[in-house]
Amino acid sequence: MVDVILGLQWGDEGKGKIVDFFAKDYDVIARFQGGPNAGHTLYVNDKKIVLHQIPSGIFHTDKINLIGNGVVLDAVTLKKECESVAAFGVDYKKNLFISERTHLILPTHRALDKASELSKGTEKIGSTLKGIGPAYMDKTGRNGLRVGDLKDKSFTSQYIKLRLKHQRLLDSFNFQEDISAWEEEFFEALEFLKELNIVNGEYFINEKIAEGKRVLAEGAQGSMLDVDFGTFPFVTSSSTITGGVCSGLGIAPQKIKEVIGITKAYCTRVGSGPFPTELFDATGDFLRNTGNEFGSTTGRPRRCGWIDLVALQFACMINGVTQIVMTKADILDGLEELKVCNSYKINGEEISRIPFQMNKMQIDASYQSFKGWKNNITQVKTFENMPAEMNTYINYLNEFLKVPVKYISNGPGRDQLVNV
């Protein structure tokens, strides 16, 4: 049996903490897509740690953690992360496994990412410059190198061949930066990677399922950044939705049971692209500063706005969401009034569907207003003790989305998660 946890907005929903919370009930936690552009923040023994590649179940030492074939892997980042988790007493060599079909991010992928973004001028998509897009392009172009290729004696010659191809592209961008230091670090990290548990991921995970093990598939980024269904072209390069679990881990659709969708109590976005509910006023500043809305990977300030139920309903539909976890509800504590976007107005017409190419039209969000609760909810342990105003807010969401909010996160701590 496989359950899925994924983000329902533009990423940064707080998936790391939620995966960490649910991990105790599972035997295997598996990342199925994305790369080091995803940052999952956890607090372990009151210390903050951000994971970019390793599944968020790594701090449960009796759990298996698998990096699936749908991920693109930065060996340098992985090496640093392993060293970080080892400082917490985690034996990653025991419970971290990597699919041999996982594609590698090369130094030239990072260079191509940077060169491409610089060439766009004011039309930048907001790439994290981690080499994600070029790595996925090589994957779909059948040119990439995979973790399993490290066992091949011809790996170095394969790398040189691909590097020469990349160099021609870099020359076309007139990219002059010296990446020799990146390459030195990369090959050192590959030696480290060879010592880890490299497995045939699809057989590995299906054998666990056949043994009756419970699997939790962990997504990265958010549904509105999906390469097909997100706000194209301001999207990531992989399938961030439930369908990506099957291709990213090698499991059949009928194995999937629960789909746990994560949304903030408001909305944020990093980088460029449409954001109908974005706030440019004092409330937006309040959400950013109170919520510490700065990218865990890039440090960039996040754009902030009210929760968007049109986008959220769309995300629930394409993912088959069965339950919702709402994070950062405590950030709304200080607001007199809350707003919820329940429709869009485009050219005077009111719609409740995500339109094609949102970036090419003027979208005005329509709102339902609610009274804020103006109480500190960070110490509340049961939903019955939450303010009545929150109950009204949650009931409206449940009715609109037709999917129940089952948990509310009221702080960053592991124990700050209230069952509704």
Q: Is 60 in the active site? A: no
- Residue 336's SS3 state is coil
> Tokens at residue 403, please?
């999917």
Distance CA 345, CA 380 (A): 38
Q: What is the residue-wise DSSP string for 8-65? A: SSSS-S-HHHHHHHHGGG-SEEEE-SB-TT--EEEEETTEEEEESSS-TTTTSTTSEE
Distance CA 253, CA 2 (A): 9
Distance CA 348, CA 346 (A): 5
Distance CA 226, CA 234 (A): 9
CA proximity to 38, closest of 68, 5, 13, 3: 13
User: What Cα–Cα distance (Å) separates residue 413 from each residue in 41, 64, 409?
Assistant: 11, 23, 9
Distance CA 256, CA 258 (A): 7
Q: Catalytic: which of 3, 27, 40, 308?
A: 40
Task: Report H helices in 149-278.
Answer: 155-172, 180-194, 201-210, 243-249
DSSP code for 301: B
Helical (H) or strand (E) element with 85: helix 75-86
Helical (H) or strand (E) element with 263: strand 256-264
Helical (H) or strand (E) element with 257: strand 256-264
Q: Cα torsion at 384, 388, 389, 395 (round to 10°)?
A: 60
Q: Is 109 in the active site? A: no
Q: Catalytic: which of 3, 12, 27, 308?
A: 12
**Active-site amino acid positions:** 12, 40
